[in-house]
Amino acid sequence: MCGFAGFLAPAGFSSQAGVDIGQQMGRAILHRGPDDGGLWHDHEAGVLLSHRRLAILDLSAAGHQPMASASGRYVIAFNGEIYNHLTIRRKLETAGQAVEWRGHSDTETLLAAIDAWGLEKTLQEAVGMFAVALWDRSARKLTLARDRIGEKPLYYGWQGSGSQRVFLFGSELKALKAHPQFTADIDRGALALQMRHNYIPAPYSIYRGISKLRPGHLLELDGRGEQALDSRPYWSLDEAVLRGRAAPFAGSDADAVAALDKVLHEAIGQQMLADVPLGAFLSGGIDSSTVAGIMQAISPRPVKTFTIGFSEEGMNEAVFAKDVAQHLGTEHTELYVTPAMAMDVIPRLAHLYDEPFSDSSQIPTFLVSQLARSHVTVSLSGDAGDELFGGYTRYNLASRLWNSLERIPGPLRSLAGGGIRALPVGGWNAVGKPLLAMAGKNLGNVGDRAHKFAGLLAERDRMQVYRRMVSHWDEPARLVLGASEPSNYFSARGAGAADADYYDEMMLADMHTYLPDDILVKVDRAAMGVSLETRVPFLDHRVVEFAASVPLHMKVRDGQGKWLLRQVLYKYVPKEMIERPKMGFGVPIDAWLRGPLREWAESLLDERRLQNEGYFDARAVRAKWQEHLSGARNWQYHLWDILMFQSWLDRWQHGA
């Protein structure tokens, strides 16, 4: 895993000036590749590639980038891993298309395949995670490409004008910002999306004119810069899902368990290939325990596993992770996090994430990455099990809710929602909490739940119900001054596919949005911030395609998600060690904002400051802040969205 950046200046550039700029862009992402750095440029053609290397395969100089193909036609800057690159080498050798290998890096394999097959076929053959910038010296063409699900980031866009017009690209925004033509104009529509989702979904970024390349897409640009920036897919998640539905897995339950175990063995086995120390994150949950269990079954020696724990009751899964580790026989390391340790991370978040990002589990994710990096250079994770096998509890909740709501006429639902909202949150708490207490239940803030339910009643179709369920600010364009919320997956998709199960639609939505733009961003930036490579076996596209073919009743059974994945896990870990309520991976932001973070938050949410900056409706923000401080409402997620933007604004715009 590495990082790269570069630019294409159609008017050409001064050789020395371009080199200086390229070095600055590379230094901005030094953390992604501390082992080596390189530059390649053709100032007459106007192209420069800058690369930072975290050496994983072939630690010698034979893996140095940017790298030219054996033919000399192509030059590549590559970030990621091609797990089946040895298989690709054998295919080339069998066909008589192999080169005289200089080393054993996957970058060299990739270039040889591109020389023989072209880029698009090579990407279709490749199993891995990657972002690629490829310069074709013969055709004078730049191509950018990103892996199928979006594990590796890639930003791009035009900046400057006239003879100074330049096309920038790179692994992180901080590399693009190092170019003198970069203009940091904030996109208020993208900010509205962040307020809704706590992340900015592709293709948008926080800056106008800068986009994220969509997963599974490639983008071609000729050397004159005249070609439109229309990316196209070389692999489609939607098509993979449709193929799976058209030809579903037809075997028995036992057959399905064996088939999933087999495909996971192959994926994990390939992802254990490395010339540096390797381990795994282990939370003790289903997904990470499955990955660790198969790794240990494959490995001839104890696998290194890592977890962090919390002293707060109801938040600590470290004890369960330790039990799983002891059962598997891994070499386990755990770290118990104090509030002070977690809060020390907060000032680093704006630099790590480059653009506003407010999933608060970014804090423990950074800490577990930091822990792992002190022992290994590569760590496998269990991300994506929920999206592939129906694991989120919100899927079941939304499904049951919509089954009830769709029987009620829309006008009647809207009327009922208005009636619920007529009683303030405090009123619902006063009425509901005693009644629930008498029934022996505690659902927290009853009023918040009642008003959230009222909003769901107003939605017209099931995908809009799900959108509201996963939203923070329901009407972010009213919060962000001068904003219009751009089209995104939910608005473009409408009501969803009529012939698809609601569960399937929700899982697919998360695969397109929440997974690549929240989960994978969170892990990539946190891990690369400490120069740790992370690998996600569940996102091997063969696993994804197999999961798409598995009938829903093998994923969700008796209201419980991940049925099939659980059966695989039970081959390695006893059922009683796993079956317990999911705790998540969060931190008590709500209490911290009323306590140790109050002064920090108050300075960022100062009313005069908000008014002067002009991004938010200051009254709306202050109202939520005061309600939160009083304990009347818990607005932790809404406030964290704003605080992460304000902190980012201080870091990147104000230079604080």
Binding site as annotated, residues for ATP: 308, 381-382
CA distances for 225 relative to 158, 161, 182, angstroms: 9, 12, 17
- Rounded CA separation 168/406 (Å): 48
Helix axes 520-528, 362-373, angle to 10 degrees: 40
Q: Are 343 and 317 in contact (CB under 8 A)?
A: no
Active site residue 209: no
By the 8 A CB rule, do 284 and 307 touch?
yes
Positive or negative torsion for Cα 95, 97, 101, 106: negative
Rounded Cα gap, residues 116 and 443, in angstroms: 61
Q: How many residues does the chain have?
A: 656
Of 131, 120, 213, the closest CA to residue 167 belongs to 213
Strands (E), 366-482: 378-380
Query: Bridge-partner residues for 306, per DSSP?
Result: 281, 333
Of 574, 107, 87, which Cα lies nearest the Cα of 324?
574
Task: Record the tokens describing residue 210, joined without a space.
Answer: 């800068």
> Which of the following is catalytic: 1, 2, 39, 568?
2
CA 292/CA 620 separation, integer angstroms: 46
Structure tokens at 565: 């994945």
Whether the ω angle into residue 516 lies within 30 degrees of 0, i.e. cis, is no
Q: State in Å, rounded, how far the first CA of the chain is from the last one.
A: 30
Which of 490, 522, 528, 530 has the alpha carbon at shortest distance from 506? 490
- DSSP annotation of 247 reads S
- Residue 213 CA, chain-centre distance (Å), reads 13
Residue type, position 313, single letter = E
State the amino acid at position 298 in one-letter form: I
- 69, 48 contact by CB (below 8 A): no
Q: Please state, in angstroms and as integers, the Cα–Cα distance from residue 451 to each residue in 421, 465, 622, 634, following that order.
A: 6, 14, 20, 13
Instruction: Let me know: does 235 contact 148? Beta carbons within 8 Å.
Output: yes
Short-list 506, 516, 519, CA closest to 399: 506
Tokens matching residue 345: 């991370």
Binding residues for L-glutamine: 106
Phi, psi of 29 (to 5 degrees): -120, 35
- Confirm if 543 and 267 have CB atoms less than 8 A apart: yes
Contacts of 202 (CB under 8 A, 6+ apart): 150, 211, 212, 213, 214, 215, 516, 517
DSSP assignments along 102-163, one per residue:
SS--HHHHHHHHHHHH-HHHHHHH--EEEEEEEEETTTTEEEEEE-SS--S--EEEEES-GG
Catalytic residues: 2
